[in-house]
Structure 1
């Protein structure tokens, strides 16, 4: 009985317990495993970073695309400003608001244009159709300087070939009507102080090939 108790109280030998000499190898294994994991993570990240040659090639590709884009934009040419309509090498602005005749003249001048001056039958037909869809619309024609002598805002006189565009019985100067307007299917002389739609005209830009 005593021998058994002594046997239980005796310290364990190298085979009976984990000695200090066994701890070091375990720590080394753990350190090696951790180092391996860290190394793998670093290698994965490095593999995702493009090389200098790849970055250079990508930059050259972007520079080439930008150059092509700039060339394409430079080749574009709008003969007329936005919201203007092109017709036979001229640009026309059809107003959305109404002004009296004098203010319409100024509005066109402020845009670098003039209240429309008609130079051909084709232009007249184009303008008459568009004005008819809007309602009474001012043109750049008046006899303000001399009653019965109709002049355009550029100082030129009304061509005889366009005189047949007056509606039947017009111009009649009814109540001091000195400014010409598009009305329905023809022209009418109206009171210059009345607010109506208006049309501006300017030459189209020249789009020459590079």
Structure 2
């Protein structure tokens, strides 16, 4: 190869190198195809130029970046923990402030029940026989009403006068003339005064007791009447 040919190749190499730098990827591939030995030579020279110092510097830079990233991560975690703790404290504070209002909202009895002297009473909206009334109260976790005091008797008697004749949990089904409450207790002699005049008379096989007018009456258990359930009231926190 003479000097003119070698100079021509070098000139083509320079043109292809400029074309590689200034052109986009698609056209630079053409220059790369003609002058790959030249470009590889240049790249090798550049890599040798980095030397150990540049490699160490790059490693130090990378380590510093990782350390900074770690510090940022730790800082974010600590900040998140502080935010979470602040949220918990805020919730606890709000619950403390709401506690008196929640206590005032506490209802010893459900909405359809009436509270009286520590007990809840349910007055039915429809009528059924005595046995079905006993079952209905059990399904409500209660019992057909058992009267324990004069005050309770007065309260129930007055309410039944307003709502209609209603079954109570009293019958002599087990033994005629011996009256028992559904909880198994005997009817006290002091409560006999609550029978209406001439009652109980068992005129028509009347084995179940009802509220009627100003007192009690015995009636056939198969007759449909309203009914009253009773259960203990729930306790609410002290205000």
TM over 0.5: yes
Distance 1:158 1:128 in 2: 17
- Contact 1:99-1:196 at 8 Å conserved across structures: yes
Matches within 5 A, 1:63-82: 65=94, 68-69=97-98, 72-73=101-102, 76-82=105-111
* 2:231 aligned residue: 202
Distance 1:70 1:105 in 2: 38
* 2:39 aligned residue: none
After TM superposition, give the deviation of residue 71 of structure 1 in Å.
6.5
Q: Tell me the TM-score normalised to structure 1 length.
A: 0.67
Question: Runs ≥4 in structure 1, deviation > 3 angstroms?
Answer: 62-72
After TM superposition, give the deviation of residue 69 of structure 1 in Å.
3.7
State the structure with bigger RCO (CA 8 A, min sep 6), 1 or 2: 1
Distance 1:178 1:144 in 2: 6
Does residue 1:182 correspond to 2:172, yes or no? no
* 1:17 aligned residue: none
After TM superposition, give the deviation of residue 70 of structure 1 in Å.
6.3
- Contact 1:75-1:209 at 8 Å conserved across structures: no
After TM superposition, give the deviation of residue 138 of structure 1 in Å.
0.2
**Structure 1 residues not aligned, in runs of 5+:** 1-55
Partner residue of 2:164 out of 131, 135, 142: 135
- Given the superposition, is the C-alpha separation of residues 147 and 75 from structure 1 closer, same or farther in structure 2, using an over 3 Å criterion? same
- Which secondary structure does the structure 2 equivalent of 1:68 belong to? helix
- Contact 2:103-2:236 at 8 Å conserved across structures: no
Partner residue of 1:90 out of 94, 109, 119: 119
Distance 1:208 1:70 in 2: 10
- Contact 1:143-1:178 at 8 Å conserved across structures: yes
CA RMSD of aligned residues (A): 2.3
- Contact 2:103-2:238 at 8 Å conserved across structures: no
Q: Which has the higher helix share?
A: 2
**Structure 2 residues not aligned, in runs of 5+:** 1-82
Distance 2:205 2:180 in 1: 16
Does residue 1:99 correspond to 2:128, yes or no? yes
Aligned length in residues: 153
After TM superposition, give the deviation of residue 163 of structure 1 in Å.
0.5
- Contact 2:103-2:237 at 8 Å conserved across structures: no
Distance 1:169 1:83 in 2: 35
Partner residue of 1:157 out of 174, 186, 200: 186
Does residue 1:108 correspond to 2:101, yes or no? no
Distance 1:129 1:94 in 2: 12
- Contact 1:137-1:183 at 8 Å conserved across structures: yes
